[in-house]
Structure 1
Amino acid sequence: MTNPPDIDRRSLLGLPLALAAAAGHAATAPADGHQAEWATPASLTLQATLRHWLYLPAGYHERPDKAWPLIVFLHGSGERGAQLDRVKAHGLPKLLAAGQAIPAIVVSPQCDDDLDWDPHLLHALLLALRGTWRIDPRRVSATGLSMGGGGCWDWAMAYPDDLAGIAPVCGYGSHLRLARMRGVPVRAYHGADDSVVPLSAQQTLVTELRGLGGQAELTIYPGVGHDAWNPAYADPALLAWLLARVKAGA
């Protein structure tokens, strides 16, 4: 990486996330056994920690007035756990570890064992990052592979205002909330011979999103199985597409 040496050290500390959870009406329990009365609405602040790699682009410290694009990379199921180096196995973290420069802030969080990407936690991550680093809120995008590709779809459906675009690789997702993200452009990738996440799982999402008026494209790799991330992240057009995303109407 070309960053100052303190960047990786800070990223290992994890990120405390403030998750505001509206408790609605909290019921009180009277001692005399009579029916509880509704109390005033309350809220809770919950804390979570996400280990993550943080990449700051060249010039970040020299340009204190500049807001930068943010790309969030979501790993697959094989990179879960407590060893953060696993996240560097594929995708953008692998490219950055090899010395590639990216003119954006790149954050690569890690899921614990047996957990999946939670869109609510990813939304909270974004809010915390925006409060810490100089991020252009109009230029936030996400990409990920397999479980991470599914995480991109889920995040865009749950919080479409968070993202200017997603690039899921061998991804999948629910069709129930697809209409919510018709304003989020998609550039998807998949192997034609994927036996883990069938091509149809993502192809159907892309087709349905187009039918809803959304912008979506799908690159299919003939003869490629589940590891579509190798050709996808070797394609310079993927990163160029993410960097070009600007939130519509911003």
Structure 2
Amino acid sequence: MDSQVIDSLMVKHFFPSSNGMQMPYRLFSPIDKKKEKIPLVVFLHGRGDRGIDNSAQIYHEAGIIIGSNSLLTTKMQLKYPCYILVPQCSDKTKNEEWAKWVGNSPETPFKGLGDNGTYTMGQQPSESGEAALELIEQIIKDKNIDPDRVYIIGLSMGGFGTWEFTARKPHLFAGAVPMAGYSDPNQLEKIKHIPFWIFHGDIDKWNPVAGSRTMFKLLSESHSDVRYTEYKNTGHGESFKKAFNEAELIPWLFSKKRKTNLSREKL
């Protein structure tokens, strides 16, 4: 699909969050408005795409928007109708990320990130994380979205965010796909009911693969619905490309629904 067509379909918006942040975001809405409620797919970009410009950079690595597995095509929308939401994380300080961990501050943006790919989640979310979660809930209320089929995918910093958003709102998501991110193993009990498909490259120099291995082990031991794909001789960015080309990724994601006993929980 032509890049200009994609950009026109990913409509620009700004969300005035309750914490005062004006969050830029893109939203794809199905042209064929269906009577039945349909899924929402949330994509979280990486650290290099932070800002307030709301440009195409926030989805340029999202294989669900670009490339052969794009959900924007007529063919894919007929099979997997959905809304797609792409918020943009602020770069107002050096430490502003989707996630917020102990040690993360403007003066020490990366303090607290372990060599084992883990961190300890902060008590409060980052401003961008808080605004994005509020935005997701608002979109669910405003659009014809099935609250039992809200999915989240994130790469790199967005991988951090995928783990963290599911922990901060454990009853919100029906499926999650963290790619090459850090995680907090202490959040296991909150998220173990959520289906996860984890992706990482084994020679990632930016975010250690050990973190994803740890979460896969813990989720497996908890008898969770979890898959893990580790690419051999693959670094950071290349792992995203390979993950989005997985033929089973989209069918797997759209097959997931929130657990019946959890869907009654207040969002």
Aligned mate of 2:22, from 49, 71, 74: 49
- 1:187-198 aligned at under 5 Å gives the runs 187-198=197-208
Task: Kindly indicate whether the alpha-carbon contact (under 8 Å) linking 2:13 and 2:27 is maintained by their aligned counterparts in 1.
Answer: no
List 4+ stretches of structure 1 deviating above 6 A: none
Contact 2:175 2:196 in 1 (8 A): yes
Q: Which residue of 1 aligns with 2:16?
A: 16
TM-score, structure 2 as length reference? 0.74
Aligned match of 1:93 = 65
In the comparison of the two structures, how many residue pairs are matched? 217
Query: Which digits, 9 at most, give the CA deviation of each residue in 1:183-221, with x for residues without a partner?
Result: 111001111111111111111011112223322211011
Match of 1:232 in 2: 243
Alignment partner of 1:160 out of 162, 166, 170: 170
CA drift at 1:129: 0.3
Task: Identify the range of structure 1 (224-233 vs 90-99) with the bigger mean alpha-carbon deviation.
Answer: 90-99
Once the two structures are TM-superposed, the CA of residue 98 in structure 1 deviates from its matched residue by 8.2
What does residue range 59-78 of structure 1 map to in structure 2 within 5 Å?
59-60=32-33, 63=34, 65-78=35-48
Amino acid at match of 1:116: E
Instruction: State the distance in 1 between where 2:36 and 2:219 align.
Output: 34
Q: Distance in 1 between matches of 2:71 and 2:40?
A: 18
Percent identity over the alignment is 26
CA deviations over 1:77-112 (Å, ceiling 9, x no partner) = 111112322113201233459857442111111111
The structure 1 residue matched to 2:145, chosen from 135, 148, 153, is 135
Q: Call closer, same or farther: CA 1:221–1:189 in 2, change over 3 Å.
A: same
Provide the C-alpha distance between the structure 2 equivalents of 1:236 and 1:9, rounded to a whole number of angstroms: 24
CA deviation after TM superposition for structure 1 residue 122, in Å: 3.0
* Pairwise CA RMSD: 2.4
| SS of 1:194 mapped into structure 2 | coil
Amino acid at match of 1:185: P
Query: 2 CA distance for matches of 1:176 and 1:93?
Result: 32
2:258 corresponds in structure 1 to: 247
Distance 2:89 2:141 in 1: 22
User: Structure 1 residue 116 and structure 2 residue 126: aligned?
Assistant: no
Over 3 Å counting, the alpha-carbon distance change for 1:97 and 1:130 in structure 2 is: closer
Which protein, 1 or 2, shows the higher relative CO under an 8 Å CA cutoff with sep ≥ 6?
Answer: 2
Is 1:80 matched up with 2:55? no
One of 136, 149, 170 as aligned partner of 2:159: 149
For 1:104, the equivalent position in structure 2 comes to 82
Change (3 A) 1:129 1:93: same
Cα distance, 1:237 vs structure 2: 1.5
Q: How many angstroms apart in 2 are the aligned matches of 1:185 and 1:112?
A: 28
- Tell me, yes or no, if the aligned pair for 1:149 and 1:172 is still in contact at 8 Å: yes
